[in-house]
Amino acid sequence: MHEIVSVDQFAHVVDSWYENVLARLKHLMEIPTGTSMELEDNGITTAITLEYDALKGFIAALQLVHLELTCSPPFLQESDEE
C-alpha cells in the first residue's frame, strides 16, 4: 500500500472503496438460490441455505444497505465552483 500524500489521492482511495462496496453489494444481490453461508452469533456458527424466504430476506437486506449508501453516501462531493 502506498502512502497517501495529497487530498486528491485520498479522495481517489475513498471513491474506489465506495464503488467497490457498491459493486460487491450488487454481486451479492444476484447470488443464486441454494447458495450456502454461515452466520455467526455470540460464537455460535449456523450454516444456512439461501432459498425461499431466507434468500428474499438476504436480498432485501442488501437492497436496503445499497439504498442507504447511494442515498446517503459516507462522504459528500463538493465543488470549488460557486
Reported as a pLDDT band with limits 50, 70 and 90, residue 74 is low
Report the pLDDT averaged over residues 9-16: 86
**pLDDT tens readout for residues 13-61:** 888 888 999 999 999 999 999 999 999 999 999 999 999 999 999 999 9
Average pLDDT, the chain: 87
67 with 48: CB under 8 angstroms?
no
> Alpha-carbon distance 15 to 11, whole Å?
6
Domain locations in the chain? 47-72
* 49: three-class secondary structure by DSSP: strand
